[in-house]
């Protein structure tokens, strides 16, 4: 184990957090980090339990889908990750989960609208839903990339949600916020018709989130 040591450790840490926070179940979902300096991606392996993962279990790949280092098969969804890193220079990490409420909305094959201002964490007024395609296919990866244009997140029809960020912490935090919004939407729809925030308000929220939080250390 010699490549992307820090990235491997981070994926093990956040894989456990996916389970502990209820953002996925079993071995569902996958997470990755892309190192632009080396051109290599660290990604979780296929079918292994997150709490049993060790840094050596993480798979290192190039963006052409070749395994560079690792003893396990990479996640079957590696196409979704490599395609994003090839096309989004602003992205260095990705979280794909089967989060309960986000997946519920995706089963309707509809967007997650601006039920709450926190939807602006997606980078826009909504979270679009990508067209359905079987898991692990290039078609699914292409559908997801297209629907995520100008956004940090996309629902996958009848499947789950993808979230990207500058770091794994960033992507994970956005995933938590959007899952919260999906739950609010589900609950509001169950008792009535929710009021959706205007496009103008959401544009304002997106701008405000760009400077939200503490200044980054130099």
Is position 149 annotated as part of the catalytic site? no
Report how far residue 26's alpha carbon sits from residue 133's, in angstroms, rounded to the nearest whole number: 22
The set of residues, in sequence order, having a beta carbon less than 8 Å from that of 78 and lying 6+ positions away, is 30, 32, 41, 43, 61, 65
Q: From residue 53, how far is each of 12, 64, 72, 88, 179 by CA, in Å?
A: 6, 25, 11, 28, 24
- DSSP-derived letter for residue 206 is H
Q: Which residues of 163-202 are buried (b: 16+ CB within 10 A; e: fewer)?
A: bbbeebebbbbbbbbbbbbbbbbbeeeeeeeeebbeeeeb
Token couple for 154: 């996309």
Residues in the chain, total: 218
Q: What does each C-alpha distance from 28 to 107, 115, 131, 135 come to in angstroms? A: 16, 27, 20, 12
Choosing from 77, 111, 176, 179, the catalytic residue is 77
The residues annotated as belonging to the active site are 77
């Amino acid at each position: 184990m010699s490549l992307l040591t820090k990235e491997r450790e981070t994926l093990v840490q956040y894989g456990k957090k996916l389970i502990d926070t209820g953002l996925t179940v079993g071995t569902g979902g996958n997470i990755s980090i892309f190192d632009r300096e080396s051109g290599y991606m660290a990604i979780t392996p296929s079918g292994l339990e997150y709490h049993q993962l060790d840094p050596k279990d993480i798979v290192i790949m190039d963006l052409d889908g070749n395994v560079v280092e690792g003893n396990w098969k990479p996640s079957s969804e590696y196409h979704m990750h490599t395609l994003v890193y090839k096309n989004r220079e602003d992205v260095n990490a990705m979280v794909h989960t089967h989060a309960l409420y986000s997946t519920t909305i995706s089963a309707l094959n509809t967007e997650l609208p601006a039920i709450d201002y926190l939807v602006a964490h997606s980078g826009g007024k909504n979270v679009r839903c990508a067209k359905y395609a079987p898991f692990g296919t290039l078609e699914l990866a292409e559908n997801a990339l297209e629907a995520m244009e100008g956004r940090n997140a996309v629902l996958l029809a009848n499947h789950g949600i993808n979230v990207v960020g500058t770091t794994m912490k960033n992507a994970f935090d956005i995933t938590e916020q959007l899952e919260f919004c999906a739950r609010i939407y589900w609950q509001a729809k169950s008792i009535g018709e929710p009021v959706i925030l205007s496009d103008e308000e959401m544009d304002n929220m997106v701008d405000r989130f760009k400077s939200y939080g503490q200044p980054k250390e130099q």
